[in-house]
Structure 1
Amino acid sequence: MPRTIAIGDVHGCADEFEELLQALELKPDDRIIQVGDLVNRGPDSHRAIELARKYEVEAILGNHELRLLTARNQEKSSLLKDYDRETICQLTEEDWLYLEAMPSVLYSARIETVFVHGGFLPNIPWQKQAIETITSIQVIDKKGNAAKRSDAPDAPPWADSWRGSPFVVYGHTPRPNVLERPGSIGIDTGCVYGGHLTAYIIEDQSLVQVRARQAYAHSKRLPDPI
């Protein structure tokens, strides 16, 4: 039976990405979806994209790719962070084409599941939500708006309010463990911060994880390493 495999935020952790892909013992009919933030923060964004091409991984647009592309296409270098500039130095023209082709979401009617980087507001059809929302949402603030955890630290995760359908698989919000809710699962387990890189197999609801070889970046919200 073909598997649908979702992989969490890679953030340029190419060694861990390759280790996980090998651990999955992939078969020709398997579908691999990476839920965004394939690049940035970690050591080798170029090789992470090379691996995605080699293994025919379908990567979704994350907030990090969105910022890089916006800065490049609109000539807004002021948007860039220091680690963005390090990533840009690594990327080839072929890498940029891969980033440009990333979809904002992927939906499978067969398994009634949508794959997205950040998530969704519960009161708006998921197909109609803005790219800025679905790549950056972490929590829902007191006014019912999408927000980052850092801007609304006491606000609940958007997933607490999501009842589905469809079922949502997402990344973006790093945690020590996956966050399971009846209508969703968050699979960013903070590889770049010294945690794990996680794969979630939809059909049997199983997890495959590899441990980060080191902490490549520091998070204000997570112990280091997580």
Structure 2
Amino acid sequence: MTAYDVIGDVHGCYKELTELIDLLGYTLKDGVYFHKDDRKLVFLGDITDRGPNSVGVIELVYRNVKAKKALYTHGNHCNKLYRYLLGHNVKIIHGLETTVAELNDLREKQKRIVVSNFKELYEMAPMYLVLDDGKLVVAHAGIKEKYIGFYGKYVRQFVLYGDITGEKNLDGTPVRLDWAKDYKGKPIVVYGHTPVKEPRFLNNTVNIDTGCVFGGKLSALRYPEMKVYSVKSSMPYDESRFRNL
């Protein structure tokens, strides 16, 4: 059985990502991370935006996925960046502006390479990951048990954005229902998307987005051990970004 280390929302925090991978016991060789126990890194989306080095994170994830040493599924920020790179009419706000600025600061040849790599990474990624013979599911914003194994439009919206109602909070963010409270499935669902101060274990689900880009921590869930590893963020702390569940 392959063992996995599922890493929460990185959001361009390259420094913390490399520190966490080191903490997990991986060794870097020719740009690719290897583990003596043949473990695999798993990225659950939102690898870019808001943080200081989204380009570095894109390249790290791309190299390791291409080398079959890591797995990746995309999040809502990844989806938005992809649509922007395709030339769609996307508002450059909510963190996308930082990634766009990074790309525009690159030399033209390097920019083309990074853009091409991200598009390839996105296009070969599944909507969500089903691992360990169905015992583990990794989905960016989570997934209800009845959706596991299905890949329709509504499932896609759910795994990218969570259980949204169509209503807005006062700060303009979507109102999200706490789907994990009602989860009764057998597979363990590991997700992120909603920043919490500590990893949240509830009903066979684990939220490991501990808000690194908002000054919290970058966390990984070690599976099947179900042990959490974290490194502190170097970003300014913003209490308002964390959700109390």
Which TM-score bucket, shorter chain as reference?
A: 0.7 to 0.9
Aligned to 1:136: 161
Following superposition, the deviation at residue 108 of structure 1 comes to 1.1
The number of residue pairs the alignment matches comes to: 214
User: Compared with structure 1, are the counterparts of its residues 85 and 147 closer, same or farther at alpha carbon in structure 2 (3 Å cutoff)?
Assistant: same
Structure having the larger proportion of residues in helix: 2
SS at match of 2:240: coil
Structure 1 gaps, min length 5: none
CA distance in 2, matches of 1:80, 1:130: 25
SS at match of 1:127: coil
Following superposition, the deviation at residue 47 of structure 1 comes to 0.5
CA distance in 1, matches of 2:224, 2:166: 30
Following superposition, the deviation at residue 123 of structure 1 comes to 4.9
The answer as to 2:97 corresponding to 1:85 is yes
Deviations 1:60-94 (A, max 9, x none): 100001111123325213x3316313313434232
- In the TM superposition, what are the counterparts of 1:142-181 in structure 2 within 5 Å? 145=165, 150-152=173-175, 156-181=177-202
- Which residue identity lines up with residue 90 of structure 1 in the other structure? E
Q: Any conservation in 2 of the 1:168–1:184 contact (CA below 8 Å)?
A: yes
CA distance in 2, matches of 1:22, 1:203: 19
SS at match of 2:210: coil
Aligned to 1:210: 231
- Which residue identity lines up with residue 67 of structure 1 in the other structure? K
The answer as to 2:46 corresponding to 1:37 is yes
CA distance in 2, matches of 1:146, 1:119: 17
- Which residue identity lines up with residue 95 of structure 2 in the other structure? Y
Q: Any conservation in 2 of the 1:199–1:207 contact (CA below 8 Å)?
A: yes
Q: Any conservation in 1 of the 2:212–2:218 contact (CA below 8 Å)?
A: yes
Following superposition, the deviation at residue 126 of structure 1 comes to 5.2
Aligned to 2:14: 14
CA distance in 2, matches of 1:146, 1:127: 22
CA RMSD of aligned residues (A): 2.6
Deviates more, 1:183-192 or 1:124-133: 124-133
Aligned to 1:103: 126
SS at match of 1:16: helix
Aligned to 1:220: 240
- Which residue identity lines up with residue 102 of structure 2 in the other structure? Q
SS at match of 1:6: strand
Percent identical across equivalent pairs? 28
- Which residue identity lines up with residue 95 of structure 1 in the other structure? F
Aligned to 1:201: 222
Q: 47, 51, 61: which is aligned to 2:60? A: 51
SS at match of 1:209: strand
Aligned to 2:110: none
